[in-house]
A and B are shown apart, each in its own frame.
Chain A
Amino acid sequence: MTSKELILKNIRTNNVVQDTTLPDYSNFGLTFEDKHSYFSTMLESVGGKALFIKKEELEETIKSIYPDEKIITSNVEGFSLANFDANKENDPHKLKDIDLAVVKGEFAVAENGAVWVKNRDNRHRALYFIAQNIILVLEKSAIVNNMHEAYELISFGEPSYGAFISGPSKTADIEQSLVIGAHGPKSGYVIFVE
């Protein structure tokens, strides 16, 4: 008997766990009158920041936040300050010197300040983590209340990768003191455009 068969057999033999039905999530979960302001508060509480701007202000806004970053990559349409095309590289190790990544986010979740990213326009999933700083750009209307609504919008048809990102990377492993910037980006902005 293979280990797989053995495990399945052991699961089936005298299993005393009583079956229950799975929950239904329609109309379930807290909602907000002002999703954007709740999102902002949640994101700030984890060391990130949300901005709300007009589409035309994107470049100017990013330039003013990060005036000194040298190597910039982006997959956001209409953003012309990028000088490094991460998607052209075959090997993600080549992304190691990126100072700033301006990346498209799919939608935001108000209850926890997270943004869903999926690598459709981003060849290397490493980009979200290897860049020293990250800005996620998304449409202002792309926001949901809670995680139940969020998973309604997600699917995994083909092999891929997706993540909820909330703020920059961080750790509190040394005496519970919060330090922003562990392995991933040291700062994280979310920019909503209209």
Chain B
Amino acid sequence: MSILHNHPAKAKEFVANDERMHWHDQALWFVREKRDRISKTIPEWETLRKYADQIKSHTMANLDKYLLEFEKNANAKGIKVHFAKDAQEHNEIVHRILSENNVKKVVKSKSMLTEECHLNPYLESKGMEVVDTDLGERIVQLRNEPPSHIVLPAIHLKKQDVSDTFHKEMGTEKGNYDPTYLTRAAREDLRQKFLDADAGITGVNFAIANTGGVVVCTNEGNADMGASLPKLHIACMGIEKVIPRLQDLSVFTRLLARSATGQAITSYTSHFHGPVEGGQMHIVIVDNKRTPFLQSESYKKALNCIRCGACMNTCPIYRRSGGHSYDYVIPGPIGSTLGTFRDPKKHKTLSFACTLCGSCTNVCPVKIDLDSQLYTHRQDLREMNIISNQKRLSMQFASWLMSKPALFDFAGKIARKVVPNLPKFMIYNRFNVWGKQRDLPDMPKKSFKELYKEEFGNDK
């Protein structure tokens, strides 16, 4: 059913609550502004971005070599490394390690990869208890929802929602909306889960080839609690997380938190280079449709993403349509390009959920060409004959029109005269879902070209 993966239709639900939409927009814009402020305190910011891009590109060009180097060095530190070609195999490996160690209860810290692989339901179906321990993740887990943002999983919820959920699931006071009260309640609840857990699963922010260890960044300390109390730690990562050298981490630890939330660094940047005393550490490295990116001139850079979330915080569409409208594990600009490449049929509406404003590309700490990837996806989808006839024809018409400058000028002139006088039903109809909540701006009297000529026409 196409309706399940239809961004405009899902966005329509989100924008129906006007107040919440504006609140969501503001909340993310606030984070974006914090990112701007802190990035300006680093004079070498642009050089850092350039370095990050270089390191990632170098790694991707030599990925086989670095994965092997990482495996060798991790083994030397007593870490067991596993490779999984897809989500199914990843889940099976994790399950096998857990059941070999008689694990019943698992605490998990944030990992988009395990979300992507649907690890929780898999382990639950095998009779294990899996508790997400990042507060935002815990909230959405208790509500049976996926995260709506990769860094701020519960950004779509208000404190009333959290309070109601906690009241129902943890017996907190009804109607107590105080974030401190609610956080403390979750702390107590989760502390017991940490103490009772038989194993901890974490994601990986960076895996260092020349030292054989992994780095996990959190503010809450939940990854560390989960990885250091039980005897068993399993870290799950995509193949793209590896970086060559320990000193390259300096670039990423400087960029990540500043881009994500406007902090100089996360409260905890933990470097795991071996198991706890008398324990075991495993790392599962997953492909799951990542390698094809390396073969694509247009989309190869999407694999360089460090999952900071800056592109979604700045995206005008994401901010107004909410993460759930993307129906993909990673929302926003980066999710749209990853999702469309991996399964174009299923996610055919995502590359159109973009104004091509380029803001995502401008904030991306590793300089991924997000807006041009989304633009390219539209042509590719058209070539593959995947998009709807209506969209295909209008794209065809637009490119035909734009290739004829005189006709385009003329059409513009007519439009500026005609559109303002059109009856509403012709502009805002069922073919224009976006028009449901917004008006077209007033049409200018003159075209940009005419204005430009008037202003600068004589400057030769």
Q: Which residues of A contact B (CB under 8 A)?
A: 2-4, 6-8, 10-23, 25, 28-30, 42, 45-46, 92-93, 96, 109, 111-114, 123-126, 128-130, 146-148, 150-152, 154-156, 158-177, 179, 181-185
Contacts and interface: CB of A to CB of B under 8 A. Distances in A.
Contact of B54 (A22, A25, A164): A22
Contact of A21 (B54, B212, B296): B54
A115 B47 CA distance: 25
A11 B62 CA distance: 9
A22 B55 contact: yes
Contacts of A126: 224-225, 228-229, 276
23 contacts: A15-B61, A15-B294, A16-B296, A22-B58, A23-B251, A28-B47, A29-B250, A113-B264, A114-B264, A114-B265, A129-B221, A166-B265, A166-B268, A169-B219, A171-B220, A173-B152, A174-B157, A175-B27, A176-B30, A176-B155, A179-B179, A182-B220, A182-B222
A16 B264 contact: no
Given A15-B295, A112-B264, A174-B157, 14 more contacts: A4-B83, A7-B239, A7-B285, A11-B239, A14-B295, A22-B244, A22-B245, A46-B264, A114-B269, A147-B250, A156-B211, A156-B271, A161-B274, A183-B187
Interface in B152-178: 152-155, 157-159, 162
Given A156-B211, A161-B271, A174 B220 contact: no
Sort A-B residue pairs by CB-CB distance and give the 6 closest, nearest first: A159-B274, A184-B221, A182-B220, A112-B264, A173-B136, A10-B291
Interface string B179-211: 110111001001100110000000000000001
B84 A3 contact: yes
B135 interface: yes
Given A11-B63, A164-B253, A179-B180, A148 B247 contact: yes
B44 A28 contact: yes
Contacts of A166: 264-268
**Size class of the B contact interface (CB-based, 8 Å):** 35 or more
Nearest to A5: B83
A176 B31 CA distance: 9
Contact of A3 (B85, B154, B187, B295): B85
Contacts of B287: 3, 6-7, 10
A96 B83 CA distance: 35
A182 to B, nearest CB: 3
Contacts of A25: 247, 250
Contacts of B157: 174-175
Interface of B: 27, 30-31, 42-44, 47, 51, 54-55, 57-58, 60-64, 67-68, 77-79, 83-85, 89, 133-136, 139, 152-155, 157-159, 162, 179-180, 182-184, 187, 190-191, 194-195, 211-213, 219-222, 224-225, 228-229, 239, 244-251, 253-254, 261, 263-277, 285, 287, 291-292, 294-297, 300
Given A128-B224, A173-B152, A174-B183, A164 B269 contact: yes
B58 A21 contact: yes
Contact of B135 (A22, A171, A184): A171
Among B79, B184, B219, max chain A CB count under 10 A is at B219
B148 to A, nearest CB: 12
A5 to B, nearest CB: 9
Nearest to A111: B264
B274 A176 contact: no
Contact of A124 (B58, B60, B68, B228): B228
A154 B83 CA distance: 28
Given A151-B250, A171-B183, A129 B225 contact: yes
Nearest to B28: A176
A20 B54 CA distance: 6
A129 B83 CA distance: 31
Contacts of A96: 195
A20 B245 CA distance: 15
Contact of A13 (B158, B247, B295): B295
Contact of A46 (B134, B211, B267): B267
A22 B59 CA distance: 9
Nearest to A164: B269
Given A92-B229, A179-B183, A183-B225, A170 B58 contact: no
Contact of A92 (B268, B276, B295): B276
Nearest to B139: A173
Nearest to A19: B61
A10 B85 CA distance: 10
A17 B57 contact: yes
Contacts of A177: 159, 179-180
A156 B64 contact: no
A33 B47 CA distance: 22
B250 A174 contact: no
Among A46, A161, A165, A166, max chain B CB count under 10 A is at A161
